[in-house]
Chains A and B, each alone.
Chain A
């Protein structure tokens, strides 16, 4: 089948179709038309003229000579000729190239024992570190008090029972009220 798109040679035909459809819709779905444009606009496809039987007097000439009488405005589009059977569809959908491949790059994280991909950080360990960093940042925020108050010296994070060493002379010290986590190595 070939789809013929008529680029509205007759504007009044299109307007008439829209009005007809609007009347139909108001009859079928009285609630839908409240405040919206008519839902089923007329798509000027092949069956356009056939839907308006009582307008045949003025458009008789057009309808009888539809194909040869419209030289420039007809566009022939590709359309499927036959229905694809379910067997053919299945062959295409279940082809091995379309199936999901098994991933062979999954390992066990040596720290926590969860699964991780080889080239990606372990999700659990990353979430752990992210949470601790968030708490450190809250402490920093409390110390600074507002934006643009970052000091020009380095920062050192100390946990419970730790004293600043001589290396941490001029640095800003952030206290965290918990035991040092095993993965946060102290220099």
Chain B
């Protein structure tokens, strides 16, 4: 039997639940701003919600936190694997370089990603307090699988196959500041150093 407040306590609990959170000072019943109702969008994705986080104000001595802008486009009519190559191309570039590369790429997804980047750049300048629109670099760029639809594909001799019409999402995170320098490739010397360090870290376990 779950814990159940009996009789009057239950009625009071019910009433307090039924009564809305806040009443306005005038006492009349307005549409309540505290209840969030999603009207047009079915579900707001996680990437879109990342733009809504608000950090507490920084202390005077802290270094300035660089602005982060999250933007995405959903249900692009393109394959996620093919889109991934473009996303991998522009990862870590400055926004100007990325736009230049995408402008002269022959792929269909390049045009879409270019539009997304331009939208994100404009959002950054308007809403996210970015001073210079060129002072942005691409920190993350990812693709995701959209909703697939199965269709019949006709072959000869009355044969049919099922094909899937694939769509993808594209996510990008712009961060203010110059792009980080690329990592130097791992040389054999580094690997040897790490190996020697691992050997030196060995110790006796379960002993005094």
- The judgment on whether A and B are partners is yes
Chain A residues with CB under 8 Å of chain B are 37-41, 43, 93-94, 98-100, 102-103, 106, 115, 117
Contact, CB under 8 Å: B158 / A41: yes
Q: Indicate if the CB atoms of A100 and B104 lie closer than 8 Å.
A: no
28 A–B contacts from the bound complex (CB under 8 Å): A37-B158, A38-B158, A39-B152, A39-B158, A39-B160, A40-B160, A41-B157, A41-B159, A41-B160, A43-B159, A93-B81, A98-B85, A99-B85, A99-B88, A100-B85, A100-B86, A100-B88, A100-B105, A100-B107, A102-B89, A102-B101, A103-B101, A103-B105, A106-B101, A106-B104, A115-B100, A115-B104, A117-B104
Count residues on chain B whose CB falls below 8 Å from chain A CBs. 16
Min distance, Cβ B179 to any Cβ of chain A, angstroms: 13
Whole-angstrom distance between the alpha carbons of A100 and B107 in the complex?
A: 10
B153 to chain A, nearest CB (A): 10
Residues of A with C-beta under 8 A to B131: none
Q: Cβ of B75 < 8 Å from any Cβ of A?
A: no
Residues of chain B in range 117-170 having any CB-CB distance to chain A below 8 Å:
152, 157-160
Name the CB-closest residue of B to A105. B104
B103 contacts chain A at the CB level, 8 A cutoff: yes
For A117, what are the chain B residues with a Cβ–Cβ distance below 8 Å?
A: 104
Q: A106-B100, A106-B104, A115-B100 are in contact. Are A100 and B158 (CB under 8 A)?
A: no
Docked CA distance A36–B104 (Å): 45
Chain B min CB distance to A123 (Å): 9
List chain B residues, Cβ under 8 A from A99.
Answer: 85, 88-89
Q: Which 8 A-B pairs have the closest CB atoms?
A: A37-B158, A39-B160, A41-B158, A41-B159, A100-B89, A106-B100, A100-B85, A115-B100
User: A98: which B residues are within 8 A, CB to CB?
Assistant: 85
Interface string of B22-46 (1 = CB under 8 A from A): 0000000000000000000000000
Residue of B nearest to A114 (CB): B103
Cα distance A102–B152 when bound, in Å?
Answer: 38
> What is the CB-to-nearest-CB distance from A47 to chain B, in angstroms, rounded to a whole number?
16
Cβ of A103 and Cβ of B81 under 8 Å apart? no
B85 CB to nearest chain A CB (Å): 5
Complex CA–CA separation, A94 to B84 (angstroms):
10
Residues of A within 8 A of B101 (CB): 102-103, 106
Q: Return chain A residues, CB-CB under 8 Å to B160.
A: 39-41
